[in-house]
Amino acid sequence: MKVKDISARKILNSIANFSLEVSITTKDGIFKSSVPAGTSKGKHEVKEYIGGIDAAVKNITKLKRTIKKTNFSSLKDILSFEEKTKGYGGNATLAVTYSLLKALAYEKKVPVWKLFTKKKKIPMLLNKMIGGGVHAGEESTTFQEFLVLQKPTNLKKNISLFKKIGKDWGFHGRDLEGGWVINVSDEKALQILRKYDKTSKIGVDMAASEFYHDGIYKYKKMSLARTDGKIVMPKLTKDTAEQIRFVRYLKNRYDMYYIEDPLDENDFRGFAELTSRIGKNTLVVGDDLFTTNPERLKKGAKLGAANACIVKPNQVGSLSKTIEFVNLAKKYKYTTIISHRSQETNDSILADLAVGLQIPIIKIGLTGGERVSKINRLFEIMGE
């Protein structure tokens, strides 16, 4: 495949911040891609745009001569081209890579996921029901996400659960990813979820780094506690040992299967301790802990920190590194979960990557064009 032209421009993402869109022209037409951004970003993520988004637009335009001279006949060619965009920032690199994938897939008359694998396995859906943390205002839960895992063929079950929660509790509106904002304690939110769905696998993304400062986890609210039959005002702060105890209590009481970022993003030892206690039948998931970075995953695996990891290509800023990360996770027997971000675009390539990289779970919201595009693409892939 030969590229005839490349251009870039700024577009709006789902919360009206700027994102980058890259267009690639081949003899077959124009192929466009864009990349999301995070709000509760991990400290170890790469920069989205080096020198700002305007610099990325200029840099990509300057790639014209080099890209025209390159022949792209396989995924490998696309991955080696990532070297050329290295200094532009992770989102710039990925927007170019994704557009090349779409163009090459079109030329080969296959869907994008088939550039990676012949074996099709459709991932489970991990849908956000309730949203809080920095994805909502002060009047919300401390934890960022309350989630339900479902087979795609059971999507209806999650939709009806989402609507029921919204009908009874939706008066505070939605968070950045479309989850219902409920102004209650985290424990109460779990009670609500369990009241409407007693049997599904549920979980949370605590995004704990967002409420961890100087050794202390600080909660917005806490359910009232009882001591010797008397109601006592609960403490809103926890040190690491108390946090681990609290996570274990919630896990057991509400039968949680999925727990993401329950501790600070640098606390590998805390993650290891928690994993050794609950990791047998629970996914202890590192998102900000690993930031899709192979080196951080190696460190985590050595210590036994977590047993599952989030995959967000733009945390590490290249598809090559993302593939290396996913392969490492498979080697270490960590479950992978590919995830949307809070500032999404309408690009649906996440679904192709989920199937292509054989990732067993995709984490996604249920409403809004930017989320629905990925769910709809997943259903389209089922028929391909």
Residue numbers 173-212 binding ligand PGA by CB under 6 A: 205, 207
- Residue 4 CA to residue 27 CA, distance in Å, equals 7
Which of these ranges, 108-116, 195-203, 290-298, 335-343, lies near ligand PGA under the rule CB under 6 A?
A: 335-343
Per CB under 6 A, 38 contacts ligand PGA: yes
- H helices then E strands: how many in the chain? 13, 16
Q: Encode 333-370: b = buried (16+ Cβ within 10 Å), e = exposed.
A: ebbbbbbbbbbbbbbbbbbbbbbbbbbebbbbbbbeeb
CA distances from 63 to 6, 35, 59 (A): 8, 19, 7
- Catalytic residue among 82, 145, 177, 265, which? 177
CA pair distance 255, 33, nearest whole angstrom: 39
- Rounded to whole angstroms, the Cα distance separating 370 from 68 reads 31
Decide: is 342 part of the binding site for ligand PGA (CB under 6 A).
yes
Show the binding pattern over residues 236-275: x = contacts Zn ion (CB under 5 A), - = does not. Answer: ----------------------------------------
Q: Is residue 265 a contact point for ligand PGA (CB under 6 A)?
A: no
Site string for ligand PGA, 137-176 (x = CB under 6 A): -------x--------------------------------
Select which of 102, 238, 312, 363 is catalytic.
312
Is 205 one of the binding residues for Zn ion (CB under 5 A)?
Answer: yes
Hunting for tokens 């971000």 — which residue is that? Answer: 341
Least separation, in Å, of the C-beta of 92 and ligand PGA? 18
235 is catalytic: no
The phi and psi torsions of 6 (rounded to 5 degrees) equal: -140, 140
Q: Is 128 a catalytic residue?
A: no
Q: How far apart are CA 344 and CA 12, in angstroms?
A: 9
Determine the Cα–Cα distance for residues 65 and 5; give it in Å rounded to an integer: 9
Sites for ligand PGA among residues 45-104 (CB under 6 A) = none
CA distance to 3, 123, 154, 349, per residue, from 382 (Å): 30, 10, 14, 14
Please identify, using beta-carbon distances, which residue of 273 and 287 lies nearer to Zn ion: 287
**Taking the CB of residue 64, how many other CB atoms lie within 10 A of it?**
14
CB of 339 to Zn ion, least distance (A): 7
In the bound state, the residue with its beta carbon closest to ligand PGA is 38
Q: Does 41 bind ligand PGA (CB under 6 A)?
A: yes
Q: Which residues bind Zn ion (CB under 5 A)?
A: 205, 287
Catalytic residue IDs: 177, 312
Q: Which residues bind ligand PGA (CB under 6 A)?
A: 38-41, 144, 205, 207, 287, 339, 341-342
